[in-house]
A and B are shown apart, each in its own frame.
Chain A
Amino acid sequence: MLYSEKVMDHFRNPRNLGTIEDADGVGEVGNAKCGDIMKMYLKIEDGIITDVKFNTFGCGSAIATSSMATEMIKGKPVEEALKLSNKAVVEALDGLPAHKIHCSVLAEEAVKAALFDYYTKHPELKKPEGLPDCATCGGDCCSCH
């Protein structure tokens, strides 16, 4: 099989699928031209991600990595979510085929983009150094991966 059982499980039964109307942070990354777009919605209370939802246009691994990323940051402090790496997502999914690794990069970027949006909405909080603005970079995601 192309994908591990875990990838197929998250693809078939995506966790935290949906949107949050009054989200504290929303991030959208990817490019329709490349075939994948992820949109992440965060609800944050007292520095804790209390809820997270996602919508994804993309292949099986794009949907599975989004789902896994939401599960890995839900209930966690913002500081911890900021440290989520694509590698951790891949490991949690028991691996991805080489040409699908970019999906996990996208999942990491979607979380970062949503957090960037959160910090932008809350200028009183100090934006962590090095947090990339994936959502508005305007670049072609394909060129990054």
Chain B
Amino acid sequence: MINVYADNAATTRVSDTAFNAMLPYFKELYGNPSSLYTLGQKSTEALFSARETIADCINCNMKEITFTSGGSEADNQAIISAAYLGAKKGKKHIISSAFEHHAVLHTLEKLKKEGFEITLLPVHSDGFVMVDELKNAIREDTALVTIMFANNEIGTIQPIAEIGAVCRERGVLFHTDAVQAVGHIKIDVKEQNIDMLSIASHKFHGPKGAGALYVRKGIPLLNLIEGGAQERGKRAGTENVPAIVGMAAALKESCENLDKNFAYVKDLRDKIARELSKIPHSKINGVLERGLAGTLNMCFEGIEGESLLLLLDDRGISASSGSACTSGSLDPSHVLLALGLPHEVAHGSLRISLCEYNTEEEADHIIKNVPEVVEYLRSMSPIWKDLQEGKREYVIQ
């Protein structure tokens, strides 16, 4: 049976380039970058080169890059650092959006308990923050604005350059969780007025366990992990050299092929979207033309997402859902709820996220199987029966 990995927004396969780049750093060049002898200094050089590569990809200075264990740590460090910095000046207000990743939202909840005031901007039914609403939300005591570059569940790309310009003009720090965007769309921290930006290696064919935080020169960064002088004292702990090398190699490759990959993946995604939209009472969440190339999020009325995923898995398709059952809580995805979707519809969601490794044949496999599984689940759904008999009203027309 054909196996289709269609969950690239969750994580990606390590690229051959990244894998090969990492290999020497496990058994041959395993020195500690803090050691003075040659073996250690080889690792120091590898870190130097990786930092330079990553800086080039987002157009910053290499001194503005701090390595972390991943996107979540980068988000935590950026937000906590900016918050405490603001608090010193009496600024304890933070603005974010309703559909951020939990690495951001949970950090904000923690800060709220410490006395910070949090404003979450609405993202409206199409999944975008409105710049005017941000302007109105900024106050004298606003310490930070943190808005994701592109949403992880529906792929919508936020107006980052405009948001950055507003923040710059009002003298407020701007952080963006760019975990889904880096390596997939063009990022230029200077042009886009970004002060802080989070990167996660495993979202662009790098290994797991590595990430980076860009912090514009002049903005002080507080460390979350104490213990050593690594990363100029901003992040203690012996650097994960093989993973960092792999991250840099993967990012370089992704950035060199950005336009080509975007066009290829978008064609595949659009074809799937077109075909799956033929399923009655289905809807696409977000706006494909203003989103990441590979992300497709749909709701199918009358069915539940987890059973859809399990049956697709039986047919060789790995995908994801925002249903409550897949999250272990009773509430469906906060992203879909932020779009204003009712619970019962949000439960029936499917996220397909493609990458340049997916093929036309795989797209056809998805196009053939999703409608069959949806139809089967609807045939056993009492909700679907009620909808068809007019005892319940369709939410999705």
* A residues whose Cβ falls under 8 Å from a Cβ of B: 8, 11-12, 14, 17, 19, 28, 32-39, 55-63, 99-100, 142
Is A35 a contact of B380 with CB atoms below 8 Å?
no
Tell me, in angstroms, the Cα distance from A28 to B314 when the chains sit together.
29
Is B380 a contact of A17 with CB atoms below 8 Å?
yes
Partner of A56, one of B305, B314, B330, B381: B381
Partner of A33, one of B302, B303, B343, B385: B343
Q: Quick one: which of A38, A58, A61, A63 has the most chain B CB within 10 A?
A: A58
Smallest beta-carbon distance A111→chain B, Å: 15
- Which residues of chain A are within 8 angstroms of B330 by Cβ–Cβ distance? 34-35, 142
Partner of A34, one of B305, B324, B328, B383: B324
Smallest beta-carbon distance A25→chain B, Å: 15
Query: B323 contacts the other chain (Cβ, under 8 Å)?
Result: yes
**Considering the complex of A and B, which 5 residue pairs feature the smallest CB-CB distances, nearest first?**
A59-B325, A32-B344, A59-B306, A39-B382, A35-B347
- Which residues of chain A are within 8 angstroms of B382 by Cβ–Cβ distance? 28, 37-39, 55-57
Smallest beta-carbon distance A11→chain B, Å: 7
Smallest beta-carbon distance A35→chain B, Å: 4
Tell me, in angstroms, the Cα distance from A35 to B321 when the chains sit together.
13
Q: Number of B interface residues, CB 8 Å? A: 27
Smallest beta-carbon distance A23→chain B, Å: 13
Tell me, in angstroms, the Cα distance from A57 to B343 when the chains sit together.
13
Chain A binding surface, main DSSP class: mixed
Tell me, in angstroms, the Cα distance from A56 to B377 when the chains sit together.
9
Is B303 a contact of A59 with CB atoms below 8 Å?
no
Identify 17 new A-B residue pairs, CB closer than 8 A, beyond the known A8-B310, A34-B343, A56-B381: A12-B314, A14-B380, A32-B343, A32-B347, A33-B344, A35-B330, A35-B332, A35-B344, A37-B381, A57-B302, A57-B303, A59-B307, A60-B307, A60-B325, A63-B307, A63-B380, A99-B329
Q: Quick one: which of A8, A19, A55, A100 has the most chain B CB within 10 A?
A: A55
Tell me, in angstroms, the Cα distance from A142 to B325 when the chains sit together.
13
Give 26 CB contacts A-B under 8 Å: A12-B314, A17-B380, A32-B344, A33-B342, A33-B343, A34-B343, A35-B323, A35-B324, A36-B304, A37-B383, A38-B382, A55-B381, A57-B303, A57-B380, A57-B382, A58-B307, A58-B325, A59-B304, A59-B305, A59-B323, A59-B326, A60-B306, A63-B307, A63-B380, A99-B328, A99-B329
- Which residues of chain A are within 8 angstroms of B326 by Cβ–Cβ distance? 59
Smallest beta-carbon distance A10→chain B, Å: 12
Query: B262 contacts the other chain (Cβ, under 8 Å)?
Result: no
Tell me, in angstroms, the Cα distance from A33 to B347 when the chains sit together.
8
- Which residues of chain A are within 8 angstroms of B329 by Cβ–Cβ distance? 99
Smallest beta-carbon distance B336→chain A, Å: 12
In the complex, residue of chain B having the shortest beta-carbon distance to the beta carbon of A56: B380
In the complex, residue of chain A having the shortest beta-carbon distance to the beta carbon of B327: A99
Is B380 a contact of A55 with CB atoms below 8 Å?
yes
Smallest beta-carbon distance A39→chain B, Å: 4
Query: B264 contacts the other chain (Cβ, under 8 Å)?
Result: no
In the complex, residue of chain B having the shortest beta-carbon distance to the beta carbon of A36: B304
Is B325 a contact of A57 with CB atoms below 8 Å?
no
Query: B84 contacts the other chain (Cβ, under 8 Å)?
Result: no
Q: Quick one: which of A17, A34, A35, A60 has the most chain B CB within 10 A?
A: A35
Given A33-B343, A57-B384, the answer on whether A62 and B304 have CB atoms closer than 8 Å is: yes
